[in-house]
């Protein structure tokens, strides 16, 4: 009908077991820190294994908005040259609301030009998402940071290396301080740093440009500032959370799936949990095979923690698997204040979940039933897809644009291993 918005949804018919191979794309949370970092170099950076997801397309828009030259010469590749960047260009609210990671431009612009202005970030809502630790780090390096009418402005005549102790383990703050520190004068020590694989990937990228970053992957990162950084060629690591999502999907519906292009070490906490549930996981050099013929998973206790603990970005997916567990499982969310909103959608499908503060108590049921549900956020949306694959009958998932933020070709990848899933455009009444 004219004027009625076209909306996309997934239609999933549950019950199919999975067989075949799924190839994992580059890591979203690595590439969103690495693309802004490219403007720190005095020449172009060629970055490969870029996932084709909407968050990357938004980051390209933001980089072009401040004057960076961004080419996409072939699939999975971007070439970024920051030589014409205008550090005085504000990154407006209409952009930062769509991509929380836009705030990495604060660290990159401050690090390169001593000046940055970025509207307060948006992103998935799991309760408060402050940036006090980012600001603490910038101020430790000698910057003046103010928040005028929801725009964060950071300036510094000269950034000086310093010690920064993070009051809370923060991926974003660790990345932002790394970006500001690589060209500061002297030594910066970040203590209580995040240890995620994407932190290590960023450090390796920065070092490829001539920076001196040591200790990434531990909770102490030491950065010796360098005056000049040059262009480089770099390939992004595989996406730990995309791989984990498909591991849990295979465990949930059964079958035998090989997930290709992964780093098994990044998946250890997920592998351990799936084995606890009774699933067989076989590690290859760059692949992981999930063999599942369990009717219902064993009940277990999951607690999310910063890496190398069980990732918070895998919490909704794991909770869905446990909706049909034998007995009662507990899922504790220790990173975010409010990341159980999606359980309301699961209850529509027959799940038995009681949320008590930071704990979801899941009593296993025989099966889920298909229903119309929506994606509350990126990972909750992926969890709804898994729920639809498990359920008896048909499930429709709306707000799939949120899923497309972080999962490249999810419909194609799942269809190729036997899932009955289609993407439909329909007129929203
Ligand atoms: C990153 O968000 C990821 N996003 C999130 O993934 C992920 O859930 C999170 O790290 C934790 O792993 C990207 O990388 C783009 P944090 P970030 O700073 O950096 C508190 C996904 O699905 N905190 O590590 O925003 C904060 O409130 C997304 O891909 C402060 O108190 O997360 C939270 O409780 C969703 N002050 C905790 O730290 C600060 O200054 C961890 O947040 C910063 C954070």
Least confident window among 145-149, 352-356, 400-404, 409-413: 145-149
Per residue in 39-96, pLDDT tens? 999 999 999 999 999 999 999 999 999 999 999 999 999 999 999 999 898 999 999 9
Per-residue pLDDT at 124 exceeds 70? no
In the chain, the N- to C-terminal Cα span, in Å, equals 9
Question: Which is more confident, 25 or 120?
Answer: 25
| The predicted structure's pLDDT at residue 429 | 65
Among candidate residues 295, 378, 305, 308, the one with its CA nearest the CA of residue 342:
378
The two structure tokens encoding residue 114: 């001593």
| The predicted structure's pLDDT at residue 195 | 98
Closest residue by Cα to atom 7, ligand 1, is: 313
CA distance 381 to 374: 7
- What percentage of residues in the chain have a pLDDT greater than 70? 98
At residue 426, what are phi and psi to the nearest 5 degrees?
-140, 160
Mean pLDDT of 315-339: 97
| The predicted structure's pLDDT at residue 62 | 97
**What average pLDDT does the chain have?**
96
Q: Is the CB of 238 under 6 A from ligand 1?
A: no
At a CB cut-off of 8 Å and minimum separation 6, what does 148 contact?
A: none
From the CA of 134, how far away is ligand 1's center (Å)?
11
Question: Would you place residue 120 in the very low, low, confident or very high pLDDT band (cuts 50, 70, 90)?
Answer: confident
| The predicted structure's pLDDT at residue 254 | 97
Mean pLDDT of 251-279: 98
Q: Is the CB of 133 under 6 A from ligand 1?
A: yes
| The predicted structure's pLDDT at residue 123 | 56
Task: Please report the atom of ligand 1 found closest to the CA of residue 194.
Answer: 24
CA distance 159 to 52: 35
Least confident window among 89-98, 228-237, 251-260, 412-421: 89-98
Q: Is the CB of 172 under 6 A from ligand 1?
A: yes
The two structure tokens encoding residue 61: 């828009």
From the CA of 176, how far away is ligand 1's center (Å)?
12
Per-residue pLDDT at 2 exceeds 70? no
| The predicted structure's pLDDT at residue 6 | 76
Chain length of the chain: 429
Catalytic, 124? Answer yes
Strands of 300-341, DSSP E: 301-303, 328-332
Per-residue pLDDT at 216 exceeds 80? yes
Contact 392, 369 (CB under 8 A): yes
Q: Is the CB of 323 under 6 A from ligand 1?
A: no
| The predicted structure's pLDDT at residue 128 | 73
CA distance 332 to 318: 11
CA distance 52 to 134: 28
Q: Is the CB of 129 under 6 A from ligand 1?
A: yes
Q: Which H helix or E strand runs over 422?
A: strand 420-427
Contact 292, 269 (CB under 8 A): no
Ligand 1: residue of 37, 172, 266, 334 to mutate (most ligand atoms within 8 A of CB) is: 172
Note the pTM of the prediction, 2 decimals. 0.97
Annotated catalytic residue within 124, 232, 277, 300: 124
Question: Would you place residue 295 in the very low, low, confident or very high pLDDT band (cuts 50, 70, 90)?
Answer: confident
Alpha helices (H) in 97-239, listed in sequence order? 104-113, 132-140, 171-181, 197-208
């Amino acid at each position: 009908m004219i004027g009625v918005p076209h909306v996309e949804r997934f239609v999933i018919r549950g019950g199919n077991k999975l067989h075949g191979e799924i190839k994992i794309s580059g890591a979203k949370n690595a590439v969103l820190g690495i693309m802004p970092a490219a403007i720190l170099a005095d020449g172009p950076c060629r970055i490969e294994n870029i996932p084709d997801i909407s968050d990357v397309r938004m980051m390209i828009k933001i980089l072009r908005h401040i004057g960076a030259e961004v080419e996409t010469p072939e699939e999975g590749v971007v070439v970024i040259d920051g030589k014409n960047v205008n550090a005085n260009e504000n990154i407006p609210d209409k952009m930062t609301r769509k991509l929380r990671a836009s705030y990495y431009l604060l660290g990159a612009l401050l690090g390169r030009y001593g000046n940055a202005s970025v509207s307060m970030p948006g992103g998935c809502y799991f309760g408060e998402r402050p940036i006090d630790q980012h600001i603490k780090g910038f101020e430790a390096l000698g910057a003046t940071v103010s928040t005028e009418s929801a725009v964060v402005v950071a300036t510094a005549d000269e950034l000086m290396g310093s010690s920064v102790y993070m009051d809370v383990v923060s991926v974003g703050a660790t990345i932002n301080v790394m970006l500001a520190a690589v060209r500061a004068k002297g030594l910066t020590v970040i203590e209580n740093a995040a240890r995620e694989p994407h932190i290590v990937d960023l450090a390796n990228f920065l070092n490829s440009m001539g920076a001196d970053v040591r200790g990434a992957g531990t909770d102490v990162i030491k950065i010796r500032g360098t005056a000049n950084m040059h262009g480089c060629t770099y390939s992004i690591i595989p996406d730990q959370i995309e791989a984990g999502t498909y591991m849990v999907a295979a465990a949930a519906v059964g079958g035998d799936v090989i997930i290709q292009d992964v780093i098994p070490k990044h998946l250890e906490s997920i592998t351990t949990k799936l084995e606890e549930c009774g699933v067989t996981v076989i590690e290859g050099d760059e692949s992981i095979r999930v063999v599942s013929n369990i009717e219902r998973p064993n009940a277990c206790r999951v607690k999310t923690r910063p890496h190398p603990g069980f990732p918070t970005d895998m919490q909704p997916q794991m909770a869905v698997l446990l909706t049909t567990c034998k007995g009662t499982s507990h899922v504790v969310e220790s990173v975010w204040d409010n990341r159980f909103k999606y359980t309301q959608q699961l209850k529509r499908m027959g799940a038995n979940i009681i949320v008590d503060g930071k704990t979801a108590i899941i009593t296993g049921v025989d099966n889920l039933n298909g229903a119309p549900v929506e994606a509350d956020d990126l990972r909750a949306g992926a969890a709804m897809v898994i729920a639809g694959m498990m359920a008896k009958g048909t499930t429709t998932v709306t707000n799939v644009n949120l899923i497309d933020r972080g999962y490249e070709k999810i419909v194609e990848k799942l269809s190729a291993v036997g899932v009955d899933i289609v993407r439909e455009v329909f007129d929203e009444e």
